[in-house]
Structure 1
Amino acid sequence: MELNHIGITNKSEEQALQFYRDFLGLEKTREILLAPELSEQLFSLSREVKVLVFEKTGIKIEVFISDFHHTNPNFTHFGIMLDNFSEVTEKARRFNVNIIMGRHKDKTVYFLKDFSGNLIEIKQKS
C-alpha cells in the first residue's frame, strides 16, 4: 500500500497558489471543477467545487477551494521531508507563513500553517 494523495480545503484560490506553488514550490498540474451532483454524493455539499492539484516528485495535494470553518482542535495535517530545513524556515518569515514549534523533553516538532489554517509538519531529511 502507498499514499496516493492528500486532500485539504483552502478558503481562496489565490492563497492556495501563493502557499503551495509559490512558497512550497509545488507545480499546479491540474484544475478540476467537481460537479454539484458528485460533490453532493461524496461530500454532502450540493454545489460546484474547484479543486487545484499540486505535485512534486513523491507528493500530490488536492486543494478544494471552499469557504469552511475548522473545528477546534484541528489535528488534521500532513508531513513533508525537507532537503534544506533552515532555507524553508527563512522563506516562511519572508512569506509571513506561521511556524509553530512544540518541545517536549528532547523532541522538537515543527509545523507550518498555510493561509487557510491547514497544518503541515516539516522535518529535515537525514
Structure 2
Amino acid sequence: MKINHIALIASSEEKADRFYLDLLGLKKAAAKTVEASLSLALFNLNFPLTYVSYYHDDLRFEIFILPESQPQLSPTHVCLEVNDREIFLSKCLGLGLPVKRVIKEGKEIVFIGDFDGHLFEIKEIQK
C-alpha cells in the first residue's frame, strides 16, 4: 500500500504557493474545480471547490482553497523527511513560518506550521 495524495486546505492559492512551491520545492499543476454536486456528495459542502495539486516524484498534495477556513486545534499532521533539517528550518524562519522545537528523552522533535496553521513534523533523512 502507498499513499496516493494528501488533501489539506489553504486560505489562498498565494499562501499555498509560498509553502508548497517556495519552501518544499514541489511542482504545481493547474487548478481544478470539484462541482457543487460532487462536493456535496463527497464532503457535505454544497458549493464548488477549487484545488491545486503540488507534487514531486511519489509525493502529491491536493490543496483545497477555502478562503474562510481556519484549521481547528488538532494533533493531525504530516511528517516530512528532509536532507538537512537545520537548512530547511532556516528557510522556514526566513519565510516567517513558526518553528516549534521540543526535547523529549534527549531527542529533539520539530514541528512547523504552514501559513494556514497545518502542522508538519520535520525529520532528517537517516544516512
With the shorter chain as reference, the TM-score category is: over 0.9
TM-score by length of 1: 0.93
Q: Any conservation in 2 of the 1:33–1:49 contact (CA below 8 Å)?
A: yes
Q: Match of 1:64?
A: 64
Q: Match of 1:115?
A: 115
- Number of residues paired by the alignment? 125
Q: Match of 1:88?
A: 88
Q: Which moved more, 1:10-19 or 1:62-71?
A: 62-71
Q: Deviations over 1:10-68 (max 9, x none)?
A: 11111001111111111112321111111101111111111010001231101011122
Question: How far apart are the structure 2 equivalents of 1:94 and 1:70?
Answer: 23
Question: How far apart are the structure 2 equivalents of 1:101 and 1:58?
Answer: 28
Q: Give, in angstroms, the shift of residue 70 of structure 1.
A: 2.3
| Structure 2 stretches lacking a partner, 5+ long | none
1:1-126 matches, within 5 Å, as 1-66=1-66, 67-72=68-73, 74-126=74-126
1:123 partner SS: strand
Question: How far apart are the structure 2 equivalents of 1:49 and 1:39?
Answer: 7
Given residue 38 of structure 2, which amino acid in structure 1 is its aligned partner?
L
Instruction: Write out the 4+ residue segments of structure 1 that deviate beyond 4 Å after TM superposition.
Output: none
Question: How far apart are the structure 1 equivalents of 2:110 and 2:98?
Answer: 10
Question: How far apart are the structure 1 equivalents of 2:54 and 2:78?
Answer: 14
Question: How far apart are the structure 2 equivalents of 1:38 and 1:103?
Answer: 45
Given residue 71 of structure 1, which amino acid in structure 2 is its aligned partner?
Q
TM-score by length of 2: 0.92
Identical residues among aligned pairs (%):
28
1:108 partner SS: strand
- When the two chains are superposed, the root-mean-square deviation of aligned CA atoms in Å is 1.1
Given residue 65 of structure 1, which amino acid in structure 2 is its aligned partner?
I
Question: How far apart are the structure 2 equivalents of 1:71 and 1:20?
Answer: 21
Q: Give, in angstroms, the shift of residue 71 of structure 1.
A: 2.4
Given residue 52 of structure 1, which amino acid in structure 2 is its aligned partner?
V
